[in-house]
Structure 1
Amino acid sequence: MNNVVKPPSTEAEGASARTMRERLGALLGRRSEALSPWVLRRTLSELQAINDPAISDVEGGRLAAGVAGWYAQASPEERRDCWLLMSQQFAPDVSALDEARREYEAALGKPGEAEAEVRLRRSFSSPRTRLLQRFAAFPEGMRFLVDLRAELLPHLKSDKRLVALDAELEALFSTWFDVAFLDLKRISWESPAALVEKLIKYEAVHDITSWADAKNRLDEDRRCYGFFHPRLPGEPLIFVEVALLQGLAGSMPPLLDETADASDLGKATTAIFYSISNTQTGLRGVSFGDSLIKRVVETLRAEFPQLKEFATLSPIPGLRSWLTKQAPDLWAGTAARTRQAIEKQLGQNGLEAVAVMAALDKPKELDEKSPLGRWLQAAAARFLGKELASNGRPLDAVARFHLGNGARVERLNWLGDPSAKGVKQSYGLMVNYLYDLKRLDKHRAQLAKGSVPVAKAVENLMD
């Protein structure tokens, strides 16, 4: 399923392409079409048989397994035709939806309003929902659907006809993969080697460079947890890596130092979440919610009741790209006194934003207390603490996750990640998000009103 071929997208090809309705009604196929009209109709007939409400879910699952077997051998283009059938031929009944809406509007304020609302809700449900549920019914069905969506995602921008299928899958996954339905298991150096290999493979925040590196992260003074779904046995969905320390961590190298002495767990007061990795591309966009963090916190507190503080040491992956775009405006809005100090530091008068950005490309040569170092930190604090997208959500992906779960921006850390990746993403800056367990709901409500929860120290950087 990995050799994805993008669909034709040139204007000439688009102009001559037949619609799915035309292809289903045709006698002959065109050379550029993956499935002939006859095979297309047969595939649609098999999908409709799976979806037949007159058969049981067990029988529907059996039929779905047969289609999945064909799909496994199909070419990328043939699979795309299957997606289009799922997306376009199993949509809601528009006429039934309109009728249910009219009935509901007519029933407003009357005794039958509740029943009309139920009918309206049901009319929004598409046959596609039952189809996908029956694919999930056979033993390998959940794996099939997660892999299908992973392959589908890169095509969404070029083929909007697939958006409905993707949205349906994401909605179903949000229910099926709710954290309440997942098993939380500790992963240690004593765990099966295959599981440790998956940790190495899927680590998305800080690459694991060797078995010794993996062992260090799984030592007794660390905790690593995996979330598993019962229908995907042995396949971790999420890895959460935790260091147990005394106080906030401000830099990754000490946490990844294989030669460092183990921490004294009896004195640990702070749990630092330094890596949370989603292993399944097909679950992208599926929110596991604040329950994910809460379950790990509860597990840690049960083992280490002395823990008082729960925080992250997180990357800021969106900082450089944002700053590159915003630099001219930010530099133009910089106070004259600060501009003069940076010009003096760099030995140049009349600096333009492009020269400032060039100077930031070597953050290891900068002093965090220098004028340019403070300017960078002020920009980062603004990025995390003030800048929101049009939908009111934080711009940075990691910030969206933690702030959406009720954390607050606690502290910026200069050269927290001096690796090449850290410098490329955020000039080496990292951030601590603090999970104040008594204020999670307050922080979420604050964010919902368009205000990012930040600690005083971060606020001061923006001044």
Structure 2
Amino acid sequence: MRGISFGNFLIKQVVEDLRRDLPGLTDFVTPSPVPGFARWLAEQAETIPSAAHVLDLVANEGWHADAAVRDRAGQALLPLAAQYFLEARTASGKVIDPVARFHLGNGARLERIDLLGDLSPRALRQAHGLMVNYRYKLDDIEKNHELFSARNDVAAAPTVRRLLPKAAKPAAPRLPAQPQGDEDKRDI
């Protein structure tokens, strides 16, 4: 079994067991923690203004119980979480989140980011309550695994990709003003 991770073997075994017991299943989804998100977010506070803003919002222990604070924090947390999963890398170029590396390396797709998916003290401390769903679709597992292994590409649902902060678009080139002289007149 050299070269096959225990996690990969375990996931394949669970999928096979579930398929045997429930033959109609083709997709498998797992809720997962985000243990390094809060630490990463704190590290970004000096370079990403929205990170500093959201850290101020979640600084109070009961922030998630206040609807107004929860809504403002959510609007800032979700794009930052998408950036964390889709763009943040270690010094060696790997996806920064260890749970993401496990699931993505086993062929899953990042399906959804769940705001306040886990309100336990530990999850609030490590991830500001975020959880994510990884989807194992049998037809896509091998392709997702290969892309991740070869290029560190994160398979992600379009809804997750749309959460990424918009990059500043370059201004459209200005066209020269149209001449107002005789060259604009048409013969009729």
Q: Same fold (TM over 0.5)?
A: yes
Aligned equivalent of 2:24, options 288, 303, 306: 306
Kindly tell me: are residues 417 and 314 of structure 1, through their superposed partners in 2, closer, same or farther at Cα, counting changes over 3 Å? same
Q: What is the aligned partner in structure 2 of residue 450 from structure 1?
A: 152
Contact 1:301–1:307 (8 Å) recurs in 2: yes
Aligned equivalent of 2:104, options 369, 383, 403: 403
Q: What is the CA distance between 1:390 and its match in structure 2? A: 3.0
SS of the residue corresponding to residue 10 of structure 2 reads helix
Q: What is the aligned partner in structure 1 of residue 91 from structure 2?
A: 390
Matches within 5 A, 1:365-380: 365-366=66-67, 370-380=71-81
Higher helix content, 1 or 2: 1
Residue 55 of structure 2 aligns to which amino acid in structure 1?
M
Residue 308 of structure 1 aligns to which amino acid in structure 2?
T
Q: What is the aligned partner in structure 2 of residue 414 from structure 1?
A: 115
Q: What are the Cα deviations for residues 236-290 of structure 1, in whole angstroms up to 9, with x where unaligned? A: xxxxxxxxxxxxxxxxxxxxxxxxxxxxxxxxxxxxxxxxxxxxxxxxxxx4142
CA distance in structure 2 between the aligned counterparts of 1:404 and 1:462, rounded to whole angstroms: 22
CA distance in structure 2 between the aligned counterparts of 1:404 and 1:367, rounded to whole angstroms: 38
**What is the TM-score with the length of structure 2 in the denominator?**
0.76
Q: What are the Cα deviations for residues 101-121 of structure 1, in whole angstroms up to 9, with x where unaligned? A: xxxxxxxxxxxxxxxxxxxxx
SS of the residue corresponding to residue 295 of structure 1 reads helix
Are 1:358 and 2:19 matched, yes or no? no
Residue 439 of structure 1 aligns to which amino acid in structure 2?
D
Matches within 5 A, 1:25-36: none
SS of the residue corresponding to residue 314 of structure 1 reads strand
Q: What is the aligned partner in structure 2 of residue 461 from structure 1?
A: 163
Kindly tell me: are residues 368 and 292 of structure 1, through their superposed partners in 2, closer, same or farther at Cα, counting changes over 3 Å? farther
SS of the residue corresponding to residue 17 of structure 2 reads helix
Q: What is the CA distance between 1:291 and its match in structure 2? A: 2.1
**What is the TM-score with the length of structure 1 in the denominator?**
0.33
Number of aligned pairs? 161
Runs (5+) with no aligned partner, structure 2: 166-188
Q: What is the aligned partner in structure 1 of residue 132 from structure 2?
A: 431
Identical counterparts, % of pairs: 39
Kindly tell me: are residues 445 and 369 of structure 1, through their superposed partners in 2, closer, same or farther at Cα, counting changes over 3 Å? farther
CA distance in structure 1 between the aligned counterparts of 2:11 and 2:164, rounded to whole angstroms: 29
Which entry has the higher C-alpha Rg, 1 or 2?
A: 1
Kindly tell me: are residues 426 and 301 of structure 1, through their superposed partners in 2, closer, same or farther at Cα, counting changes over 3 Å? same
SS of the residue corresponding to residue 390 of structure 1 reads coil
Are 1:441 and 2:142 matched, yes or no? yes
Moved over 6 A (4+): none
SS of the residue corresponding to residue 32 of structure 2 reads coil
Q: What is the CA distance between 1:441 and its match in structure 2? A: 2.1
Q: What is the aligned partner in structure 1 of residue 178 from structure 2?
A: none
Q: What is the aligned partner in structure 2 of residue 147 from structure 1?
A: none
Kindly tell me: are residues 412 and 312 of structure 1, through their superposed partners in 2, closer, same or farther at Cα, counting changes over 3 Å? same
Runs (5+) with no aligned partner, structure 1: 1-173, 180-286, 335-351
Q: What is the aligned partner in structure 2 of residue 295 from structure 1?
A: 13
Q: What is the CA distance between 1:367 and its match in structure 2? A: 5.4
Residue 118 of structure 2 aligns to which amino acid in structure 1?
D
Kindly tell me: are residues 417 and 303 of structure 1, through their superposed partners in 2, closer, same or farther at Cα, counting changes over 3 Å? same
Contact 1:405–1:444 (8 Å) recurs in 2: yes
Query: Could you say which structure has the greater relative contact order, defined with CA pairs below 8 angstroms and 6 or more residues apart?
Result: 2
Matches within 5 A, 1:226-241: none
Residue 56 of structure 2 aligns to which amino acid in structure 1?
A
Contact 1:364–1:415 (8 Å) recurs in 2: no
Residue 107 of structure 2 aligns to which amino acid in structure 1?
G
SS of the residue corresponding to residue 317 of structure 1 reads coil
Contact 2:54–2:77 (8 Å) recurs in 1: no
